A and B are shown apart, each in its own frame.
Chain A
Amino acid sequence: MLFFLKRILRRPVPGIITAVCMAVITLLICLLNAGEAELIRRIDETYTDIKVECAVTNLTGTGDDNLNITYRAVNLFLEDPRYGSIVSEVSFLDYLENVRIRSNCNGKVGNETVTISGLNDITIARELRPEEETFISWADGYDASVFKGSAPVCVVPESLYSGEEEMEITFVHMYEKDRTDTVTLRVAGTYRGFKNNVYCPWEVAAEEEIKLEGYIHADALNAVFRDNYRIDEFREKCASQYFAEVDPKGAPAGTGNSSYRYALDIYDDVLERTIRGLETNKTVFAVCGMLTVAVSIGVGFVIGSIISKRNEKIFALKLVMGSEKRTIWGEVICELALFSLIGIAAAIAVSYAVTGYSPPWITVAASFAAEIAGITVVVVSVLNRDVLSLSGRKE
């Protein structure tokens, strides 16, 4: 053992070259691994950051409003016994949150026929988006959050606003126009625009609808996924059970006899495109990692070649003195393996200090094995030459 160390110290250059080569390769592997790990972390974050929405649509996916969705379908998203039985075996709300709903009811303000739109979130009403320039003037203390609650308030068109703090709004039965119910709602805001809609919190409208019709309905309905990793599961366990898939050639809602009157469109396009792209880049990292392992074999060849060249005469001398080829090979391998391990250890330490990620042990081991294999091939081929050739005296 002492002799082994002495020999190493006597001719340190090949060993140092080996250590440096393996350190570089291991560092490359570790960095690629860190890049891949970072990417996985970012993919996770992207899954969390991107809000994926799903919406009930017509069968072609080209309309998500004015759908007249039945209470059964609506209650899949609300799961509220007040609005009817809950038919789904698997809870939609395990997968979804921020359910946004809109229902339009017949109504009257004085003698003026209006549409009363119950909303639980102002963003579900496209016509109220800022770029549509339907500007709402909110009364003191009110803002768009009024729709999220159940306060008896309303937003009315300026043309219908009488200036009073409260207005009597009459809900009219869907087709039996003599059945009505009048409620007094506080005016939370007025808007400019050509529509003749009165907007109120969805819960207020739903209560009136139940009173008049006996059940609720919705004209638009959408929600956001709680966990984007479970979108496929939701598709399989929930969406496919109660809704059709969007089909551009599908019979439009209301014209066919299909039991699926509506489709559920999941707007995961941006998520899919972003994640797929990142996943592919992640694979590129993995491919580069594999190539680096291949490079290790080459490095093994080179190191083996350098060592053999420098030691040909020593090998010849040892063979003449009766050493077995196996023993000589073992000595060379042990020497280079030691330096390789030193290089690997140094690279791992540097990589860990810089990136904070533990190395890919299997890949590092594979790289080490590949290097040793490369050295073995070269050294064995050299040892198989005859002694005279090795000693340089053949000619």
Chain B
Amino acid sequence: MKSSHQIIRSPIKSILGLVLACLSCVSLCLCIGQFYSAVRTKDNLEQEFTTIALPNIDEATKGLAFWESVSRTHEIEQYLANLSDRYPEDVLSTENFYQTNAVADISAINIDASNEFVKNEFFDTDPRRGNLAESILYIRIDEIGEINSEWTDLYRDMYSQMGLPEDQAPNFGLECEITGTVLKAVALNGSYPDPSGRRARITFRFTDVDAFESYGLEPGMNCLVFGVDYKDDDRTLRRRIAVHPAAGINDLYLDADWSRIREMSEEDILTYKKMNPKAEELPKYEYVRGSGKGIPLKPSEYDMMNRVSLTASENIMVSSGEAGKETHTLVSGDEITASEYIEQYGFPGLSVIEGDLDEYLKSADGEIWRTWAEVIDIESCSFPIISVANIGAVAQFASEESFLVEGRLFSKKEYADHSRVCIISESLAAKNGLKLGDMISLQFYEQDKNYSGRCERMIERKKSNPLAGYYSPVLGFCSDEKPFEVVGIYRQKEQWGYGNYDFTPNTIFVPEGTEKGTVDTYFYYFYSSIVLKNGSIDRVEEHLKDDGMNGLLVYYDRGYTDIKPSVDEYFKVSPGILAAGIAAWLILTAAFVYMFVIQRKQDALRMTCLGTEKSAVVKHLFSGGFTVALAGIVIGAVLSLVFMERIIKVLVSSIGSETALSPVVSNPVVIITALCDIAVTAIIIYITSVIVSKNTSV
């Protein structure tokens, strides 16, 4: 007797069995699927919300004398470093965010040339432009100023005031001011307007008078100059006018009309003097906006019109404050002679061009200029890359000063796989026409600290606003070009801020380890955040109180504390549904077994009467029931996969983006559930078949 025949013999019953098994499977898949979804959602939520603590060391050192304060600060830093070991249940880790550098196939934002209305509080030219200010200009000399040692003297005075030996002060040699006209910008960041035709003010530094005289500079000569501090003085003057309180918010920034400048009246100058008794320089001109009083301009400001400026050095020894020294100590500790240092790490300073510029640049003498023109081109597309193990722990994101406007944060998998994905600023995306899913190519490079004249000032700067490191033609790149997918776009509430944890909109975030194997040494870490377990702020504060450190930390959790009770309550519902679903599955399975095993008791009886062995009876009962159950469960699993996934995907796509609380659909979970359903149903059917066959006697 073929057991499968019984299925065909009673088709309606078989169809009903199919429906029953199918429904039991759907019921099980749904309830386990939703439970899994809830667990994953909770997990995602924990990932989306990161609670961090930032130290407020100043608070803890209040009222202490300087040296006591230093000692206390050290003590506090040690305490904070050990916090996660001390309270591992509440303090998860201390995240340090490291920076490296990369050149991309997109352009960086140059704050100094940006159209953005920036009220620059401290500097005429913003230090946050970093390496974008390197340039090579071809100029015609109009006038050569007096030789002086102003810069070196300034350092000596500073050392003297600090009680340090003057002879230890950096020696930048002598300098003179060369004024001329820009004939061509050979290499310049593309964000600056073309300075051709403008006046140029070059501060040229050199070792001594002999060195200067060896150039044989004369008015009317043409020369190439290289500097790391290109300043568009004309633009700076426009900015000063724009941010002057008298200007208010207006369109002067771009459109200042220099014909509106006139000489100030004696009366106005006297009034200014009276109001600014400490002023070292009195204004002589004023920029007049329509009627009313003008914006006063000092002669030094007046001179900035249509002018660019640059500092050029004879060689790297001069630019690094070692003019006249015979040796230089490399970062490795090795000492080399000045001439070797200049030969290996030298960059151009000033070269007189007697013939055609293009021919000179093609010649062997022009090689160094060609190299550095390439460096400047490379640096126009250089970016600070911050590698993160948890981007939510970056202070700016945790405090909601920066937030995603499109896309998502990095996923756990991307962190684990060191995936080539990145998160960029909205301004950078807008400047380069980038959108989510676009690929940008990054090629990593390391800062070469042996270029002390170029990067020392950066290293000394405070740890906010990381800038792309200077590219070294000696080190070159340390990786091939690698494509990175843009998965998130962030906006900053104050993108050019000066805060301790600020970063510029040029900053690109990548998962930690993405550049592993290419970057051997990090520049240094910029930010540090103490990552707490979500919802543990109160407990951590209690720990600090117990340790006499209360008030030491400032906490940010993006509102997790506010929504935690609501979310916790929500997650309590899920196990209830799981239980109800399993109960439904049990009932449906029991009904199935009743129909396909217990109701076939008569068949078993007949078979026994005809002398069939018990095992064959069991096999008959089992195969008849299990075949139907298997078919039903497979149909149910397919339906669950298609139905659940389709519906939820439609829901998620209608939302526009994935959220931390979006339900998680996992095909493996449905498949595993269906397999378990098959196994358990098979066992139940078999056991029931055995029981039924045993209870059947002639």
Contacts and interface: CB of A to CB of B under 8 A. Distances in A.
Interface of A: 17, 20-21, 24-25, 27-28, 31-32, 34-35, 38-39, 42-43, 45-46, 49-51, 55, 57-58, 60-68, 106, 111, 113, 126-127, 129-135, 137, 172, 174-178, 192, 246, 248-249, 252-257, 261, 265, 267, 269-270, 273-274, 276-281, 283-285, 287-288, 291-292, 294-295, 298-299, 301-302, 305-306, 309, 378, 381
Given A17-B591, A255-B254, A302-B595, A38 B569 contact: yes
B626 to A, nearest CB: 18
A269 B403 contact: yes
Contacts of A60: 116, 426-427, 430
Interface in B2-51: 12-13, 16, 19-20, 22-23, 26-27, 30-31, 34, 37-38, 41, 48
Interface string B520-560: 00000000000000000000000000000000001000110
A302 B13 CA distance: 9
Nearest to A251: B115
B662 A277 contact: yes
Given A62-B426, A269-B404, A174 B246 contact: yes
A32 B34 CA distance: 11
Interface residues of B, number: 104
24 contacts: A28-B580, A31-B576, A38-B570, A42-B569, A49-B559, A60-B116, A62-B426, A62-B427, A63-B117, A129-B499, A130-B58, A130-B59, A172-B275, A174-B246, A176-B293, A192-B58, A255-B254, A277-B661, A281-B662, A288-B577, A302-B20, A302-B595, A305-B12, A306-B591
B584 A295 contact: yes
B562 interface: yes
B567 A175 contact: no
Interface string B270-284: 011011111000000
B251 interface: yes
A50 B20 contact: no
Nearest to B45: A277
B531 to A, nearest CB: 15
B563 A305 contact: no
B599 interface: yes
B21 to A, nearest CB: 10
Contacts, number: 260
B570 to A, nearest CB: 5
B30 A177 contact: no
Contacts of B152: none
Given A28-B584, A248-B430, A126 B400 contact: no
Contacts of A43: 566
Interface stretch (B448-456, B487-495, B608-616): B487-495
B393 interface: no
B680 interface: no
B259 interface: no
B403 A305 contact: no
Interface string B646-661: 0110011001000111
Nearest to A134: B58
Contacts of A177: 271-272, 275-276
Contact of A261 (B55, B249, B661): B249
Contacts of B403: 267, 269
B27 A284 contact: no
B566 to A, nearest CB: 4
Contacts of B147: none
Given A31-B576, A280-B661, A381-B12, A273 B581 contact: no
Nearest to A112: B278
A307 to B, nearest CB: 12
Contact of A45 (B12, B566, B594, B643): B566
Given A31-B573, A64-B493, A267-B403, 10 more contacts: A31-B580, A38-B573, A49-B563, A63-B117, A126-B499, A255-B115, A265-B493, A274-B563, A277-B41, A299-B588
A285 B581 CA distance: 12
Interface string B414-435: 0000000000001101100000
* Among A39, A65, A66: residue with most chain B CB under 10 A: A66
Nearest to A69: B249
A256 B117 CA distance: 11
A129 B426 contact: no
A208 to B, nearest CB: 15
* Among B27, B242, B254, B492: residue with most chain A CB under 10 A: B27
Interface string B50-67: 000011111100110000
Contact of A276 (B242, B293, B659): B659
B297 to A, nearest CB: 13
A21 B661 CA distance: 33
B267 to A, nearest CB: 11
Contact of A130 (B16, B56, B581, B647): B56
A389 to B, nearest CB: 12
Contacts of A38: 569-570, 573
B173 interface: no
B338 interface: no
A31 B580 CA distance: 8
B355 interface: no
A257 B429 CA distance: 25
Nearest to A135: B58
B659 A273 contact: yes
B370 to A, nearest CB: 36
A280 B253 contact: no
B426 A131 contact: no
A254 B117 contact: yes
Interface in B590-623: 591-592, 594-595, 599
